[in-house]
Structure 1
């Protein structure tokens, strides 16, 4: 069967890499893809927001399954478009995608179905929101979280421990910093604990979690600096103990499934639950309706089954029949970013050492790369995800950084502590 993956980042490369391993897959296409994906799939020059063109390509090329990577086309209704064309597609429809597309919608869903989360208030005007912030800090809050309601390319959230910073960010939201996404804001209490990422497949009748993982959002070591799209991840996340897993299943995943069924949400895809584990109690930070990036990279490195079969059965409503096979070996993925990221950065620098990195046994997933004058160059903020498996988390870390150190491009940098939080659990 032919498969189409929609997207152009490290998440899509990891999905392509797994899908092409299936004996059932004849060919993988990726739209639009990138320089690294081009080695594993045929890239198609259609952008992720060209929904009708994507559906027409799938119909005319005999695509048996389309897997949508990014959140924007899901929130724009790509699944609805594909369904109108009679095409099989992995992902939630436009209405269900509001669980990521609107923070207010998602929070109301959590409250309605008793899913543990931070207390929050929603505002559509700056003045009452500012008064609320001042009141929270006056009452002794150590910090608050401000979220633009809509999609803001991962930049519409601020964790503020100072009132002035919170008010400045709030003003930016209502002043158009995030366009229409900031016309409504959610202000939450700041949960304190250790984060983990829970990815779970669902077809509306069954929900099946993947192995746990943990992202590293801050740009510099020791969680310093501004938030990014993710500087690396590892799997499993030891903070998700057996006892925490039981709570996640009973208090989050089962109520989530009950909720989407009660609301008649058409969801044949993946729910990404960002959780904060506070003294052994998991609370939901956010929902995303697509695979997390970079989390999906180490998760895919640990998957030893037929990923195509799993995704196809999810899209068909037969997830209960799918078989997920996982390696016990941990995996680590380290992101190499362009100098200046997440702020302004320069593109177009040749990347060397990719073959040497792959020769170590690591897999290099391309996120922001392109071809220029026959060479692979950096073309985005997050450029590569270097992923390795090991018999222990320490070995996986060593292998990943051993491969990272083979790669060079002007200004390129990475965090040097990806996975370090897991090591404390092994002492």
Structure 2
């Protein structure tokens, strides 16, 4: 098979490696990711020209395509590929609204009475905004409607110290986007569940938890994600199976609701959930593999990913997808100042650093497999694979000596102290 992959981050590197286990890879990249370039038979640079990508797919006789990044799913690319008789295992622009429009997602859940919705208010007038806050003593998460790369949400009591800051930030969003979404702040443990779906069948992947905050002990500003963990039994030690099953049911109900509204979702869908004292709450729904959480599950995936893509497109997805029964811990290496004032730098990676229990995925970098130049975004995803979360975390730490240069990494992700602290809470 000839497979087209669009995207060039760490998540796409993980997808590319699974594709190359069995089939030929053709790639559309934003940065010259050395791993993806080395795996690909042919590559073009992404320049927002849909027709150029369609022509590239035709020229290389692509059998199936997969689009990784959320911002590209928010274009006409998937629809144009399908119109040109090129199968795609990703949602079209309308279905991708489950991620690209938080307004659509909340309204869909409300229309179909799906559990887990959060009390919310959409506001487009700044005077109404001020009055709303004056009449409420509830804390809210202030969210743009559209894509933010994991960095646009600010929560009262965390990133927003008081009502005045909340009003100021919400007003900025109204000025820029025309409206802002306020969601009641929920307290609890967040986790991610990703799933393959052909719009009828939903096959769930192992549960993962990611860490968006920049600094250790979950302090500092939100980022695109500093790392993530999964456990060998496919849930997490601080979550019950009842909580996980409730979240899976919500995700299944969302897929069903979209199909019933003649907006079928085909591809990878995932929910960011929170386990609260009042039950599971939906923080957001996304229309692709998560980054970093997608890298954890792709590292564990044993089934043929191209066969899965073909089944998604044809509507014949089977519930026989296999994952290794191992724990994983991913920690992102990022450039100095990442999340605040990032500085581009250079990193050297020892040759043949990878083993059966340690992998390096290349993200927003260029260069060679042994020497990369970073951008201002995340650079290398380091993932340990073990029989416990603690062991997987230690594996990452043990291999840091093979990567040299100026960088920042959160060492606390997946440590025994972190996990036991969560279980105690």
TM-score, normalised relative to structure 1: 0.91
1:155 aligns with 2:154: no
Q: Quick check: 1:233–1:294 contact (8 Å CA) kept in 2?
A: yes
CA-atom RMSD in angstroms: 2.1
Q: Quick check: 2:28–2:46 contact (8 Å CA) kept in 1?
A: no
Change beyond 3 A, Cα 1:299–1:423: farther
> Residue 370 of structure 1: CA displacement?
0.8
Q: Distance in 2 between matches of 1:318 and 1:337?
A: 40
Q: Quick check: 2:5–2:25 contact (8 Å CA) kept in 1?
A: no
Name which of structure 1's ranges 62-71 and 401-410 shifts more when overlaid on structure 2.
401-410
> Residue 386 of structure 1: CA displacement?
0.3
Question: Helix, strand or coil: the match of 2:131?
Answer: helix
1:287 aligns with 2:280: no
Tell me the residue number matched to 1:264. Answer: 262
Tell me the residue number matched to 2:362. Answer: 366
Instruction: Choose the corresponding residue for 1:332, options 323, 329, 345.
Output: 329
Q: Structure 1 regions of 5+ residues with no counterpart?
A: 177-181
Equivalent positions of 1:89-108 (< 5 A) are 89-108=88-107
Q: Quick check: 1:244–1:280 contact (8 Å CA) kept in 2?
A: no
- For residues 328-377 of structure 1, the C-alpha deviation after alignment (integer angstroms, 9 at most, x for no partner) is 11111100111111122222x221134364258411111110128x9421
Q: Quick check: 1:357–1:407 contact (8 Å CA) kept in 2?
A: no
Tell me the residue number matched to 1:380. Answer: 376
Q: Distance in 2 between matches of 1:86 and 1:239?
A: 46
- For residues 76-113 of structure 1, the C-alpha deviation after alignment (integer angstroms, 9 at most, x for no partner) is 12211111111011111111111111111111011122
Question: Helix, strand or coil: the match of 2:405?
Answer: coil
- For residues 141-174 of structure 1, the C-alpha deviation after alignment (integer angstroms, 9 at most, x for no partner) is 2x31011111233332111222122122112213
Change beyond 3 A, Cα 1:241–1:47: same
Name which of structure 1's ranges 415-424 and 64-73 shifts more when overlaid on structure 2.
415-424
Question: Helix, strand or coil: the match of 1:128?
Answer: helix
Q: Structure 2 regions of 5+ residues with no counterpart?
A: none
Change beyond 3 A, Cα 1:279–1:405: farther
Q: Quick check: 1:276–1:285 contact (8 Å CA) kept in 2?
A: yes
Tell me the residue number matched to 1:129. Answer: 129
Q: Quick check: 1:201–1:270 contact (8 Å CA) kept in 2?
A: yes
Q: Quick check: 2:10–2:381 contact (8 Å CA) kept in 1?
A: yes
- For residues 259-279 of structure 1, the C-alpha deviation after alignment (integer angstroms, 9 at most, x for no partner) is 012111132111110000113
1:233 aligns with 2:228: yes
Q: Quick check: 1:30–1:41 contact (8 Å CA) kept in 2?
A: no
TM-score, normalised relative to structure 2: 0.91
> Residue 61 of structure 1: CA displacement?
0.5
Question: Helix, strand or coil: the match of 1:12?
Answer: helix
Equivalent positions of 1:17-416 (< 5 A) are 17-22=17-22, 25-32=23-30, 34-42=33-41, 44-47=43-46, 49-115=48-114, 116-136=116-136, 139=137, 141=138, 143-161=139-157, 162-176=162-176, 182-236=177-231, 237-250=236-249, 252-279=250-277, 281-319=279-317, 321=318, 323-347=320-344, 349-355=345-351, 357-358=353-354, 361-371=357-367, 375-410=371-406, 412-416=407-411
> Residue 37 of structure 1: CA displacement?
2.0
> Residue 42 of structure 1: CA displacement?
4.2
Number of residue equivalences = 411
Tell me the residue number matched to 2:7. Answer: 7
Change beyond 3 A, Cα 1:278–1:336: same
Q: Quick check: 2:123–2:179 contact (8 Å CA) kept in 1?
A: yes
Q: Distance in 2 between matches of 1:345 and 1:248?
A: 36
Change beyond 3 A, Cα 1:50–1:134: farther
- For residues 383-423 of structure 1, the C-alpha deviation after alignment (integer angstroms, 9 at most, x for no partner) is 1100120011111111112223421222x101111124434
